[in-house]
Structure 1
Amino acid sequence: MIKKFFKFLGKVILYFFGLSIGLVVLFKFVPVPFTPLMFIRTAEQIIEGKELVWKHDWISIDQMGMPIQKAVIASEDGKFTNHNGFDMQAIEKAYKNNQRGKKIKGGSTISQQTAKNVFLWPGRSYIRKGLEAYFTVLIEVVWGKERIMEVYLNSIEMGKGIYGIEAAAQHWYGKSAKNLTKAQAASIAAILPNPRVYKAKNGSRYIERRKSAIVKQMRQYSNPNY
């Protein structure tokens, strides 16, 4: 009985590694059609009887323009081009803040957020965080920084039912992503902590302050060298 159990467990682990590596390799070349969060949000709209909103237009990184790339680096992960997927200083700072009882912050990098958005579900369990670390290592090795940024900016939530920078640029400013100004890109980056509540256009004072800070930080960065 024990032998059968371990044999079964071994097969499950083997299948998991095979499937996960296969998906990572596939999405290095193929656009990500949808994410678990997109599915969850759509199911919530249906269950709550709300109007179904789902906008997601995949574009290549060359079609995004540089402002939005610099804006999310300034806003979400200033060391994106230099780290190996994990910002240890940010993780240590987040841990200390959490220990002091301050607002919970994860210190997640763009790579970690991409791994979570594409392959996993929302939440803070140790199992999910462990899987997030595993997928982060995989995409850093297999995809590289440019592909991670491309998938990130095509997959993250940027408004109610709005996913990816092209859909967000059209929704908030009625233009394509490549034509966003620095200020507009910073506005979209500013709402990422809670895109279903905050507004990129005609936003609150808090968002305007975040936008101004992001624009200032963007000036410190040259174009990302992936």
Structure 2
Amino acid sequence: MPERQDEKKEEPMAQTGAGRSSWLGRSWRRIALVLLALLLAPYVLILLYAPGFVHPVSTLMLRDVVLRGGYERQWMPFETISPHLVRSVMMSEDGQFCAHNGVDWVQMRGVVQDALDGEATRGASTISMQTVKNLFLWNGRFFVRKALELPLALAADFVWSKRRVMEVYLNIAEWGPGIYGAEAAARHHFGVSAANLSRRQAALLAVALPNPFDRNPGKPGRGLKRLASLIERRAGASGDYITCLYP
């Protein structure tokens, strides 16, 4: 009789262990599904953001809603943005924008080789890559972010026209704390619309993009002025590089 009682006591313990294992299995499956949904969501949004009447909001804007209580941005269609700014941003950020498919593989191979050789790596982000990073990801130099960024840039460049990529980029780029997009930047720094930017003003805005918190296009230092002069010259000679935007 005692032996039978011991056997009965062991059964609930075994059932409890099996129940815990089953619960853990369900939890991991839920976590895996959530992660999969987060990975796939940007690709769905790329499709939804394709029409011109859609004005996407970036993760950085959402961050400012939480931390600052809001942000400044007025959407400008591509056709209404000064060509001086379009040319300046392209020649400053991604001179091969019209030639690649979202990723500049030549530049990317150079970065990988530098990393393998133990040398300091240079930036190789295209405008497409910066657009998807700003829309869906986060700032900072992280391998995981870069691994997510590459396929998203290829997808955006495949689904969107080059004009749409540039339009989205120029409307979500950060030009200072809480200042997003060309229109808000032009009005904040120069008191004019993005449609009326001069060549000099456009060049100053373009060279401020890599570090908009430290570089003030409205009050440029000597170094920023020199960079702007260089980009102004390049933008003036950008005709062969910018045919995908201005045929």
Amino acid at match of 2:90: I
Q: Distance in 2 between matches of 1:95 and 1:27?
A: 31
Q: Are 1:28 and 2:50 an aligned pair? A: yes
What is the correspondence of 1:1-226 to structure 2 with a 5 Å cutoff?
11-12=33-34, 15-16=37-38, 19-29=41-51, 30-32=54-56, 34-44=57-67, 46=68, 54-98=71-115, 99-102=117-120, 104-222=121-239, 223-226=242-245
Distance 1:70 1:172 in 2: 19
1:8, distance to aligned residue in structure 2 (A): 5.0
In the superposition, the TM-score normalised over structure 2's length comes to: 0.79
State the partner residue of 2:15.
none
Deviation at 1:117, TM superposition (A): 0.3
Partners of 2:144 and 2:189 in 1: CA distance:
36
Q: Which amino acid aligns with 1:27?
A: Y
Offset, 1:18: 5.1
Q: Computing the radius of gyration over CA atoms, which structure comes out larger, 1 or 2?
A: 2
Q: Normalising to structure 1: TM-score of the pair?
A: 0.85
What residue identity is the alignment partner of 2:63? I
Judging changes above 3 Å, is the alpha-carbon distance between structure 1 residues 43 and 11 closer, same or farther for their aligned structure 2 residues?
Answer: closer
Report the alpha carbon displacement of residue 92 of structure 1 after superposing the two structures with TM: 2.8
Residues 48-92 of structure 1 deviation map (CA, whole Å, 9 limit, x = unaligned)? xxxx67211111101102111100111000000110111122223
Q: Which amino acid aligns with 2:202?
A: A
Identity %: 34
Q: CA deviation at 1:130?
A: 1.4
Deviations 1:12-59 (A, max 9, x none): 466346533321111112101x31122334545x4xxxxx67211111
| Length, aligned pairs only | 218
Change (3 A) 1:92 1:14: closer
1:4 Cα deviation from its structure 2 partner: 5.8
Q: 1:97 to 1:199 in 2, by over 3 A?
A: farther
Shift of 1:137: 1.5
CA–CA separation in structure 2 for the residues paired with 1:195 and 1:9 = 37
Distance 1:162 1:120 in 2: 18
**Inter-partner Cα distance in structure 2 for 1:138 and 1:208:** 36
